[in-house]
Amino acid sequence: MMAAVYHGTPLTPREALLAAGARAYCVSYFRPDSVADVEAQAPFIMYDNGAFSYWMQAVRAGVDPMDAGRLDWSSYYEWLEDRLFVPGRWAVIPDKPAAPSQMNDGLLNEWPHGRSRGVPVWHMDGPLDRLARLCSQYDRVCLGWIGDPKREPVGCAAYRRRMDEVSTLMGNCWHPLHMLRGVAVGGDYPFASCDSTSLAQNHHRYRLRLFAGTPDEWSGVRAYADKLERMAA
């Protein structure tokens, strides 16, 4: 099975996003710059709440990690009201990085848009029985790896040991799981989907000059997007 790859935005300049075409995209509430263009061309959209970005912003400002991040998500819920209930769209339910599972369960209770459009996050250092419970309550669940992105990135040995436990829990019939920042392992497990910011971060390296014979200036962007999607096959 091939996992759907949601490409992170904003993708700049605007011409690069338009040239990338009708794909699955992720729009963060922290950086919704490209939302109108994405909604005009994308058949599948994942809306991310940006909780990790808000949390990191506060931590860098010196706030204690347990107190960092947004407390009121009502503006995110309102932002979703007129855009979420279109076929092919879903949103990540807010959580609080570094917080215990009980606190994040409280945030799940605030979600106003139903189980089919909202997707909770299971942080992979959390109890496996919480993952099982989330799978029983929601149509899709996001997995969030908690290793240091430089020393223990997604796909490292520690990640794979934890995924061995997830695989045992899932058995022969995997619940639809989305691997956050997981395109590198999208084809290693039967994920329903994953996301990546690689296109937004690196597309400028894949302009026409790197793809001799391509028909237009942005063909390299499309070729790189295709390459990322093949990684999840």
> Of all residues in the chain, what percent are helix, strand and coil, respectively (each to 5)?
40, 15, 45
pLDDT in tens, 85-107: 999 999 999 998 777 888 888 89
pLDDT in tens, 162-176: 999 999 999 999 999
Instruction: Report the run of H or E that residue 7 belongs to, with start and end.
Output: strand 4-8
Which range has highest mean pLDDT (182-186, 207-211, 218-222)? 182-186
| Both structure tokens of 146 | 């908690």
Cα–Cα distance measured from residue 61 to residue 58, given in angstroms and rounded to the nearest whole number: 5
Residue 30 confidence (pLDDT): 94
Count of domains for the chain: 1
Residue 65 confidence (pLDDT): 73
What ranges in 101-218 are assigned the alpha helix state H? 101-110, 128-137, 157-170, 198-202
- Give the domain CATH number at 182: 3.20.20
Residue 209 confidence (pLDDT): 52
pLDDT in tens, 131-151: 999 999 999 999 999 877 778
In 3-state terms, what secondary structure has residue 213? coil
pLDDT in tens, 15-34: 999 999 999 999 999 999 99
Residue 117 confidence (pLDDT): 96
Query: Which domain does 65 fall in, by range?
Result: 4-231
